[in-house]
Structure 1
Amino acid sequence: MAPFSMMTAGVSWLVKSFTVSSCTGSVARCSSVLSAAYFSPVKCLSSQASGPPKRPLNGYMRYVLQQQPMVSRQNPEIKVVDIIRKIAQQWRAMSPEQKQPFQEASLRAREQFKVDLQHYQAQLTPAQVQQQALEKRQKIAKRKAIRKKRELTTLGKPKRPRTPFNIFMSEHFEEARGHGTQAKMKSLLEDWRSLLSHQRQVYIQLAEDDKIRYKNEMKSWEDHMVEMGREDLIREQTLSSKKMAAVKSPAAHKGTQKAKAKATKKATTTARSKTTRKTTKSSSAKTVRTTKKT
């Protein structure tokens, strides 16, 4: 069963990156559409001269590529996401025998990919290997940042405060000169620079109010994250300020003094008890020696 998240993520990529020859016949008759498209090599999987070979598609994605043009012609009124959903339903309804040609083609492409990758890596210089490792780390860091941003959005993290120019631009974007976004932004920037000081002060004050809004919302949100056990999402400056406040607070100071006094009292009591035991032992030894002499 193919996960629908992978389907939706690859919709635009499928539409823009691939062109597949048209297929005739009914969609239900899967055996009639398993012809040359699955046993001939896929052109998009061939290695490029200037870059590494592309990873092969799995069996399901090959089926999507084959069925998408036909389903689009049969249902021109539905969206691309609905087309992918329809193809996924067809894939789930297929028997293992009907899926086998797609999966076998994927296995063959995977073996060819390993050979092409080894050949490509053998031609790289040490500098190119280091550059590829650096690019890989950058891609991983970018993916992590994107995932974290999505998580923060899902958890309802407040939006950052807007600048005075952002507020000005949002208010006047519709009536700005120009037909494209860049042209409008350029004209708005010119208008912003031509504003008088008292006119610009209005937006500066709005930006200051937005900073207060952001500060209050962030405090509530971070308190909620602490209750949820997500201290990892709290800003470093907030953690530092909380530590400093805990150290400087009178209650914490009194607690520290009480703890020190308790420790000192315990150490004194222990020392006295040791001294008492030594004195007792010494007295006992003297008594025993006196008794022996008598």
Structure 2
Amino acid sequence: MAPLSLVTASVSLLAKSFSVLSCTSSLARYSSVLPTAYVSTVRCLTTQTSGPPKRPLNGYMRYVQQQQPIMTRQNPEIKANDIIRKIAQQWRIMTPEQKQPFEEASQQARKQFKVELQRYQAQLTPAQVEQEALEKRQRMAKRKAIRKKRELTNLGKPKRPRSPFNIFMSEHFEEARGTTTQAKMKSLLEDWRNLFSHQKQVYTQLAEDDKIRYKNEIKSWEDHMVEIGREDLIREQTLSTKKKLATRAAKTGTKKAQAANKASATGKSKTNEKAAKSSSTKTVRTTKKT
């Protein structure tokens, strides 16, 4: 009788063979439906222990992946960003029939992705599931921060003031020692530490001027945000300051109103007293005459 480990290994090998055969047959059917000029080979995703399967490309990205090397060879003098723009323009003017092969390829890959993702998630432990959820939240928070930063840039939010060292680094970065950015920054930090105090004072004064610039620009920008109804982009400290000022103004207005009411009441009482005295004087005079 064969050992248990040998039987287990044989079963595992047969399972893998069936998986590869099914993947190959699906690829053959898929390639026969779509033209080879439009379709890149669909990678059969296998169960991964190191990480989840990668999400498949959509139709547009498949088109970009196919056209980018062709356009790069045809236009070697054009920058990569300009090539992507040209490809995007081509995609926009393509007919639905021209886009269909790429969209169908994307749908097929998406179906395969769902199968592989379910297979991957089924083998995870509770701790791994929790870790993946944490990583997903971190990725979402990072994307949200990037989107917010891009929005603030588009709305013209002023740049924060620079430190004395940042100003020094921007002025001397080109001639700094080192071939990489990290090496240049390290050498600049050493040079900064070796500067005399009177040499650093120049950059300290520039940093103070930059603070004043930022203070004026951010105030104007936040006032503009209030005008267009984007109070959500205003700093917390600005909001708290405005609330304090509004509260003080309300209190001052209340005190002034109370003082005015008190003065009015005092004036009325004095007027009433004078009227009472005048009427009593007239009564006395009338009595004497009688």
Q: TM-score, normalised by structure 2?
A: 0.69
In structure 2, relative to structure 1, the CA distance for the partners of 1:78 and 1:178 (3 Å cut) is: closer
Distance in structure 1 (CA, Å) of the matches to 2:238 and 2:111: 52
Alpha-carbon deviation of 1:110?
Answer: 1.4
Structure 2 partner of 1:186: 186
In structure 2, relative to structure 1, the CA distance for the partners of 1:125 and 1:87 (3 Å cut) is: same
SS at match of 1:177: coil
What percent of counterpart residues are identical?
77
Distance in structure 2 (CA, Å) of the matches to 1:101 and 1:234: 48
Distance in structure 2 (CA, Å) of the matches to 1:98 and 1:170: 49
Structure 2 partner of 1:62: 62
Distance in structure 1 (CA, Å) of the matches to 2:112 and 2:247: 63
Distance in structure 1 (CA, Å) of the matches to 2:243 and 2:41: 65
In structure 2, relative to structure 1, the CA distance for the partners of 1:52 and 1:240 (3 Å cut) is: same
Structure 1 partner of 2:36: 35
Distance in structure 1 (CA, Å) of the matches to 2:221 and 2:93: 46
Distance in structure 2 (CA, Å) of the matches to 1:175 and 1:83: 33
1:138-287 paired onto structure 2 within 5 Å: 138-249=138-249, 252-257=250-255
Greater CA drift, 155-164 or 47-56:
47-56
Conserved? CA contact 1:176–1:184, under 8 Å: yes
Greater CA drift, 231-240 or 33-42:
33-42
Gaps of 5+ in 2: 1-33, 261-290
Task: Please list the CA deviations of residues 120-162 of structure 1 after superposition, one character each: whole Å capped at 9, or x if unmatched.
Answer: 0001111111111111111111111111111111111111111
Alpha-carbon deviation of 1:237?
Answer: 0.5
Structure 1 partner of 2:13: none
Distance in structure 1 (CA, Å) of the matches to 2:256 and 2:94: 74
Distance in structure 1 (CA, Å) of the matches to 2:214 and 2:124: 50
Q: Which amino acid aligns with 2:192?
A: W
Q: TM-score, normalised by structure 1?
A: 0.68
Structure 1 partner of 2:267: none
In structure 2, relative to structure 1, the CA distance for the partners of 1:118 and 1:186 (3 Å cut) is: same
Alpha-carbon deviation of 1:243?
Answer: 1.1
In structure 2, relative to structure 1, the CA distance for the partners of 1:209 and 1:120 (3 Å cut) is: same
SS at match of 2:39: helix
Distance in structure 2 (CA, Å) of the matches to 1:124 and 1:34: 38
Conserved? CA contact 1:177–1:184, under 8 Å: yes
Q: Which amino acid aligns with 2:39?
A: Y
Conserved? CA contact 1:47–1:54, under 8 Å: no
Distance in structure 2 (CA, Å) of the matches to 1:96 and 1:213: 53
Gaps of 5+ in 1: 1-32, 263-294
Conserved? CA contact 2:38–2:102, under 8 Å: no
SS at match of 1:179: coil
In structure 2, relative to structure 1, the CA distance for the partners of 1:48 and 1:37 (3 Å cut) is: farther
Number of residues paired by the alignment? 229
Distance in structure 2 (CA, Å) of the matches to 1:125 and 1:152: 41
Task: Please list the CA deviations of residues 195-219 of structure 1 after superposition, one character each: whole Å capped at 9, or x if unmatched.
Answer: 2222222222221221122111111
Conserved? CA contact 1:56–1:106, under 8 Å: yes
Task: Please list the CA deviations of residues 228-267 of structure 1 after superposition, one character each: whole Å capped at 9, or x if unmatched.
Answer: 1110010000111111112223xx22433477899xxxxx
In structure 2, relative to structure 1, the CA distance for the partners of 1:122 and 1:261 (3 Å cut) is: farther
Distance in structure 2 (CA, Å) of the matches to 1:214 and 1:39: 52
Q: Which amino acid aligns with 1:42?
A: R
Structure 2 partner of 1:11: none
Structure 2 partner of 1:73: 73
Structure 2 partner of 1:83: 83
Distance in structure 2 (CA, Å) of the matches to 1:199 and 1:89: 53
Q: Which amino acid aligns with 2:114?
A: K
